[in-house]
């Protein structure tokens, strides 16, 4: 007690951050219902860098709520690096990121011009390309609130990670330990999942299984 009296300023200095940490810990322990977490899944992409040159490029676009891969061969291009995409879905309920399959088309070597094909792994999603989700969240990148000088001095990569933001509340797009990290990773928005169509998934799977490999869906 004598030490506290003699070093009151020091004790205050050591206590302030600890109290604030306790406050943040208490807030993070609140039930999700009180903190208004994101309700909608988000489909997004990052750049992929295959080890072998890819002769075509891919663009992912949303047509009538369905995800479509648009393959094209730029005129005169023999091969390029970094032309492919990795496809992910952020699942709001378990708060985790899952990678979806986006392979190369089997007719990649002979493909001419531009061809569109539904992405089978995302066939179940009905997507909305409005930047803001129906519950008000938006994808923001590298704008974690604060920590400029703090993170410059002591390091920390979380200041640059993509987040879902709604007003002052934000949720990191990484799913924690064992999940992929997208710091500095160029996350690109594709769309919010507003509905899941299981019938559409079955139809896409059937169509995918029946078609000769590499042929486009009608």
Partner 1 sequence: MTAKHDALVEVVDLITRHGLTLDDVSAALAGKDGYAAQRSSSIVSRIFAYLGGTFVFVGLGIFVGMRWDDLGPAGRVLLTLGPGLCLFVLALVCTTDARVEGAATPLFLVAGLVQPTGILVMLREYGRGGEVEHAVLFMSVVMLVQQACTFWARRRTVLAFTSVVFWSMAVVVSFDLLDANMYAAGVATGVSLLCIGWSLDRSPHRAIAGLVYFFGAALLLEETYGWLRREPLEILFLGAACGVVVLAAVARSRSLLVVGTAGLVGYIADFIYRHFADNLGAPLALMAIGLVFLGLGAAAVRINTQYIAGQPPARSAGQP
User: Least separation, in Å, of the C-beta of 1 and partner 1?
Assistant: 17
CB atoms within 10 A of CB 169: 14
Of 92 and 120, which has the nearer Cβ to partner 1? 92
Do 46 and 88 form a contact (C-beta atoms < 8 A)? Answer: yes
User: Least separation, in Å, of the C-beta of 203 and partner 1?
Assistant: 40
Q: Which residues of 109-146 are buried (b: 16+ CB within 10 A; e: fewer)?
A: eebeeebebbbbbbbbbbbbeeeebeeebbbebeebee
Of 101 and 145, which has the nearer Cβ to partner 1? 145
Of 24 and 51, which has the nearer Cβ to partner 1? 24
User: Least separation, in Å, of the C-beta of 8 and partner 1?
Assistant: 9
Handedness of CA 209, 210, 215, 217 (dihedral sign): negative
Of 74 and 147, which has the nearer Cβ to partner 1? 147
Residues near partner 1, by CB under 8 A? 7, 9-10, 12-14, 16-17, 20-21, 24-25, 28, 144-151, 153-159, 168, 172, 177-178
Of 7 and 93, which has the nearer Cβ to partner 1? 7
User: Least separation, in Å, of the C-beta of 147 and partner 1?
Assistant: 3
User: Least separation, in Å, of the C-beta of 187 and partner 1?
Assistant: 18
């Amino acid at each position: 007690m004598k030490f506290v009296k003699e070093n009151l300023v020091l004790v205050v200095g050591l206590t302030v951050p600890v109290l604030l940490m306790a406050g943040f810990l208490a807030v993070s322990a609140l039930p999700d219902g009180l903190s208004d977490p994101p309700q909608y899944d988000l489909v997004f992409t990052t750049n992929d860098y295959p080890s072998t040159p890819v002769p075509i490029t891919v663009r992912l676009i949303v047509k009538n709520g369905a995800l479509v891969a648009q393959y094209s061969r730029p005129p005169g291009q023999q091969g390029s690096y970094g032309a492919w995409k990795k496809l992910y879905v952020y699942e709001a309920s378990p708060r985790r990121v899952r990678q979806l399959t986006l392979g190369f088309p089997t007719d990649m070597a002979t493909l001419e011009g531009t061809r569109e094909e539904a992405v089978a792994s995302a066939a179940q999603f009905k997507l909305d390309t409005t930047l803001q989700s129906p519950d008000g969240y938006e994808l923001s990148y590298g704008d974690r609130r604060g920590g400029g000088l703090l993170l410059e001095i002591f390091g920390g990569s979380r200041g640059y990670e993509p987040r879902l933001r709604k007003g002052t509340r934000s949720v990191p797009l990484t799913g924690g330990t064992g999940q992929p990290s997208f710091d500095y990773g160029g996350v690109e928005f594709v769309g919010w999942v507003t509905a899941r169509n299981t019938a559409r998934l079955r139809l896409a799977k059937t169509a995918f299984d029946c078609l000769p490999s590499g042929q486009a869906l009608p």
